[in-house]
Chains A and B, each alone.
Chain A
Amino acid sequence: MEIPAIVGAGLIVIGAGMGIGRIGGSAMEAIARQPEASGKIQTAMIIAAALIEGIGFAALFAVN
């Protein structure tokens, strides 16, 4: 049986979601530990989240 491509995209989106969730969670913990570094942590978090998000969108784009 052939598995449709959208299933693969779904798997990638699940992975991307888990990845962004972990980044967000870790950033929160880090900010709670060191509130004075929150600016730097936020910037790093946004960059990492954006890179993962790019992969998620690339998957959706490939299916489309």
Chain B
Amino acid sequence: MQIKRFGFFAFLFALSLTAYAGDGHDSHENHEAHGEKSIKEQIKEVKEHHLKDSHSFHLWGDHAKGNSVEFPLPIILWDGQLHFFWSSEFHHNANAVVESKGSHFRLYHSKIYKTEADGEIIYDEDHHALNEKPIDFSITKTVFSTILVGLLMFWMFRSIAKRYTKDLVPRGLSKFIEPLIILVRDDIARPNIGEKNYKRYMPYLLTVFFFIWIANLIGQTPLGINITGNIAVTFGLALITFFITQFSGKKDYWAHIFWMPGVPYLMRLVLMPIEILGLFVKPFSLMIRLYANILAGHTVIISIIGLIFVFGAWGAKGAFFGLTFFLSIIELLVAFLQAYIFTMLSALYFGSAVEEHDEHH
């Protein structure tokens, strides 16, 4: 069993080693294709391309050279009527304009604009596009990966739950997951929310813990997915925590915000705006913490992979390869730690909302 577990971790490490390999390879091929761009510009391009969401799932290769391996994702737009087509249609004609139900759309710098038939983009003096933007409900790369993580989690936890109906002894996957579930229950939920109320919050805490953890780990694979490094995703997660906290707030919670007991009257007036601000600062910091940590990790690793291509000497290449490996292992730790902290702080906020203070004041 020990060997098996080691094997699993070795597999994770191997994944981390090859993380972003697709992106690194990409920059190398770009170099061969158009020599006029400096290697630094190419690295910057690859980095920006990786960190941004996109309308197609790009695996490796280069568009300009025509050896790009990618698969299209559905584009869903709303501008009074519904438009549906595949992102591959943008590449079918030269000026990348797609006609749908009498309207023309153009993909420009990973955003979709409404244009005339010739696909002209009108700029203002700061070189920002002035064209009308339709409301974009597309299944982008991040949305697609999020659905993938959701399906993976559904499959994982269904099979684990089924296993426990037969036999309470954990086997297989449940043997690996059970300690983590116990960790969330005994180290996160119980001490922070309290023995009386913790059970109600366990489903959310477990879901958010495993979602963030698995999304972070998938971000370490060579697929080049960046789910939790997208501020919209972390905004959504923080928003759910915010709403659960507010809706489970008891009398004491609101009293501590609007009319702090046990302090002089003047102080209560000073504390009220601060506490109200605190309501929003807490989920905001949750959002920024997860987003910035993952984004910073991805940026650093891509930059160091880029340094492998900047330096010509084999010794330097080897050194930066080693550094990439080391940082990838650190990222595996960060992936877990960020999931843990997000869950822990959510539990802390729920705990403060359901707490009852009848023993003092």
Contacts and interface: CB of A to CB of B under 8 A. Distances in A.
Contacts of B348: 47
B344 A54 contact: no
A49 B293 CA distance: 13
A11 B345 CA distance: 26
A50 B326 CA distance: 22
A57 B344 contact: no
A57 B340 contact: no
Interface string B155-196: 000000000000000000000000000000001000100000
B345 A47 contact: yes
Interface string A17-61: 000000000000000000000010001001100110111011011
A53 B289 CA distance: 7
A54 B282 CA distance: 10
A51 B285 contact: yes
Interface in B290-328: 292-293
Contacts of A58: 285, 288
B333 to A, nearest CB: 12
B167 to A, nearest CB: 30
B288 A50 contact: no
Interface residues of A, number: 13
Given A43-B187, A58-B285, A50 B292 contact: no
Chain A contact surface mostly? helix
B337 interface: yes
Contact of A46 (B285, B288, B292, B340): B340
B339 to A, nearest CB: 12
Contacts of B59: none
Chain B contact surface mostly? helix
A21 B187 CA distance: 24
Among B191, B292, B337, B348, max chain A CB count under 10 A is at B292
Nearest to A51: B285
A50 B341 contact: yes
A54 B348 CA distance: 16
A46 B341 contact: yes
A57 B292 contact: yes
Contacts of B286: 54
B337 A54 contact: no
Given A47-B345, A60-B292, A54 B340 contact: no
A54 B289 contact: yes
8 contacts: A43-B191, A50-B344, A51-B285, A54-B285, A57-B288, A58-B288, A60-B292, A61-B288
Given A43-B191, A61-B288, 7 more contacts: A47-B348, A50-B289, A50-B341, A50-B345, A53-B289, A53-B293, A58-B285
